[in-house]
């Protein structure tokens, strides 16, 4: 249970972070700009006109903006949340969409929406049907698939329509910046970020990787995962020590006989610790298998779809096996030492 908890929680947190990073990086976003001092980046509110000032920076190649909101939907008596994104027509993210049904936006379209395949399935919507967003009806003109878990579980509408719907005309959540391909991007991203922050417009510009790792919701998810894991591992270690202690008590006479026929202390210790490691490792393996199955199942739930990734990174699984080994060692050392230290004559006559 301890190892399974660790793998599941840390795997979900890492997948959440990696999915967010991939969404930006695979679309060429080198810098992300949001409002400064916002612990929750989804609450960021910026003037769309700032984009023109960012474009004037020499190293900037392309800038896109977007507005993000979270809307509650209900199905079969239960509510779940869906990401609604407002994009401009020139957003390069449209190039990543595989159109499953229908089409993408046209300039003349009004009150239309493009749905990710997962959220369309959850809401049982098809092309041509209507969907209500904040009491306004939109016609579904396309259903798409994307490499991004967020896009597959989100709804995309035109930026100006989402601005009007949320009463945030001329406002956006943030900007994504793609630097000129002819430059060395790692160092330049830091330089351009500094220049944007110095515009004194209440902006927070960070290279994409730093933006994701320093995001409040990412750090909170990571911290809660590891905190819960530490508690589970503490309980697991105590449980393993208790299991091995009971095993030693039940076999005290056998251990005494082994000592009497010539077994050394370290041989007894190795036997008991070895048993502890095998038990812990076997339990860890079962926990990892159950965690992997659970993590693959979680994204199918409408309540969490679009916010977590179902894959577990190899390093998380490897860490699970390592922790199982450590728990087995720690949990077996004290019972093993206690058994080996018992005088053989006393052990043989133990009832």
Residues 235 and 344 in one domain: yes
Q: Tell me how many domains the chain contains.
A: 2
Give mean pLDDT, residues 116-137.
Answer: 89
Distance CA 242, CA 143 (A): 55
- pLDDT tens-digit readout, 195-224: 999 888 889 999 988 888 877 777 887 888
Q: Per-residue confidence at 305, pLDDT binned at 50, 70, 90?
A: low
**Count of CA atoms in the C-beta half-sphere (13 A) of 269:** 12
The residue-averaged pLDDT of 72-95 equals 82
Within this chain, do residues 224 and 179 fall inside the same structural domain, yes or no? no
**22 occurs within a structural domain:** no
* 321-330 pLDDT tens trace: 888 888 888 8
Based on the domain organization, do 223 and 196 belong to the same domain? Answer: no
Distance CA 193, CA 187 (A): 10
Residue 26 lies in a domain: no
Q: Do 291 and 335 sit in the same domain of this protein? A: yes
CA distance 179 to 51: 14
- DSSP β-bridge partners for residue 98: 145
The pLDDT assigned to 319 comes to: 86
pLDDT tens sequence across 235-261:
878 887 888 778 777 777 787 788 788
Take residue 69 and report the two structure tokens written for it.
Answer: 């909101």
Q: Is the pLDDT of residue 97 over 80?
A: yes
Lowest-pLDDT range of 254-258, 286-290, 314-318: 254-258
- pLDDT at residue 160 in the model: 93
Angle at CA of residue 328, ends 323 and 330, nearest 5°: 95
Mean pLDDT (whole number) for 30-59:
87
64 inside domain: yes
Number of other CB atoms surrounding residue 325 within 10 Å: 15
Shared-domain flag, residues 143 and 196:
yes
Per-residue pLDDT at 291 exceeds 90: no
Report if residue 32 sits inside a domain: no
Quote the pLDDT of residue 173.
Answer: 92
Q: Would you say residue 1 lies in a domain?
A: no
> CA-CA distance, 123 to 126, in Å (whole number)?
9
Last residue of a domain, one of 201, 231, 248: 201
Per-residue pLDDT at 274: 87
210 neighbors 216 (Cβ within 8 angstroms): no
Of the chain, the percentage scoring pLDDT greater than 70 comes to 92
Same domain, 238 and 117: no
List the end-to-end C-alpha distance of the chain, in Å, as a whole number: 33
Same domain, 144 and 261: no
What is the C-alpha separation between 44 and 25, in angstroms, rounded?
20
Full domain range(s) for residue 51: 37-201
Residues 157 and 223 in one domain: no
What band does 346 get if pLDDT is binned at 50, 70 and 90? low
Would you say the C-alpha torsion 78, 79, 83, 88 has a positive or negative sign?
Answer: positive
Tell whether 192 and 267 lie within a shared domain.
Answer: no
């Amino acid at each position: 249970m301890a190892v399974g908890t660790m793998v599941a929680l840390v795997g979900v947190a890492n997948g959440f972070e990696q999915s967010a990073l991939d969404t930006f990086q695979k679309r060429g976003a080198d810098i992300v700009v949001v409002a400064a001092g916002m612990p929750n980046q989804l609450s960021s509110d910026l003037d769309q006109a700032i984009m023109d000032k960012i474009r004037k920076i020499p190293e900037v190649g392309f800038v896109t903006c977007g507005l993000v909101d979270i809307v509650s939907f209900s199905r079969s008596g239960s509510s779940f949340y869906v990401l609604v994104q407002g994009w401009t027509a020139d957003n390069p993210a449209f190039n990543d969409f595989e159109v499953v049904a229908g089409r993408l936006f046209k300039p003349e379209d009004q009150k239309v929406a493009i749905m990710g395949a997962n959220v369309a399935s959850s809401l049982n919507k098809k092309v041509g049907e209507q969907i209500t967003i904040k009491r306004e009806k939109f016609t579904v003109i396309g259903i798409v698939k994307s490499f991004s878990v967020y896009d597959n579980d989100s709804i995309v509408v035109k930026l100006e329509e989402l601005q009007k719907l949320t009463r945030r005309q001329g406002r956006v959540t943030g900007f994504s910046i793609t630097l000129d391909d002819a430059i060395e991007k790692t160092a330049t991203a830091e330089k351009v970020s500094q220049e944007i922050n110095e515009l004194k417009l209440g902006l927070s510009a960070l290279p994409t990787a730093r933006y994701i790792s320093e995001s409040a919701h990412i750090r909170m998810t990571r911290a809660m995962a590891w905190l819960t894991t530490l508690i589970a591992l503490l309980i697991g270690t105590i449980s393993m020590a208790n299991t091995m202690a009971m095993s030693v008590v039940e076999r005290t006479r056998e251990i005494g006989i082994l000592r009497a026929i010539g077994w050394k202390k370290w041989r007894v210790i190795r036997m008991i610790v070895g048993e502890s490691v095998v038990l812990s490792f076997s339990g860890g393996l079962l926990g990892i298998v159950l965690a992997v199955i659970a993590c693959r199942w979680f994204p199918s739930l409408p309540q969490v779809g679009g916010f977590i990734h179902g894959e577990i990174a190899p390093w998380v699984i490897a860490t699970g096996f390592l922790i199982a080994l450590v728990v087995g060692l720690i949990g077996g050392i004290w019972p093993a030492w206690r058994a080996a230290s018992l005088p053989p004559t006393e052990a043989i006559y133990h009832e």
